Structure 1
């Protein structure tokens, strides 16, 4: 639940209130009964850590590129033609 800051327009009493989004804004000061005004400030978001990486937002476990030596071996065995058959004699 968000925390809202309020200030009284009559006595300048300031306080924070934890409210649901669906709750109505407070209107009466708890100290003097005067009118309250909601205070708006900067957003308190900080990004800590070593940084963000390109793969952070991607799904899955990630794939490593195939090793060039193993891909050469795979391509040479799959691309070799079948041995020629000797012609049948009758």
Structure 2
């Protein structure tokens, strides 16, 4: 389940909540009790980096799955 960030527009109290995508967002602030809570836009907790997708990132034999191997491409053309 994803973690969403919320903040109260009235008092500024910020909090996180673990909830299902289908669950309704909270509307009442746990700090001041007013119904001015809005969902915040937050950065993802992971990042994809590098030159492509690899079978494994920890082995010494890295194989880039995003590129077609030259041997397989030349075998198909023959």
Structure 1, unaligned stretches of length 5 or more? 57-62, 64-90
2:75 maps to none
Distance in 2 between the 1:37 and 1:13 partners?
11
The two structures have a TM-score, normalised by structure 2, of 0.59
* SS of corresponding position for 2:5: strand
The two structures have a TM-score, normalised by structure 1, of 0.52
Could you give the per-residue CA deviations for residues 4-39 of structure 1, whole angstroms, max 9, x where no partner exists?
Answer: 000001110001000011100110001111210100
Paired positions, count: 59
* SS of corresponding position for 1:42: coil
Distance in 1 between the 2:66 and 2:42 partners?
34
2:31 maps to 31
Q: Which ranges of 4 or more aligned residues in structure 1 deviate by more than 3 Å?
A: none
Structure 2, unaligned stretches of length 5 or more? 55-63, 73-78
Larger Rg: 1
Pair 1:17-2:28 in alignment? no
Distance in 2 between the 1:38 and 1:32 partners?
17
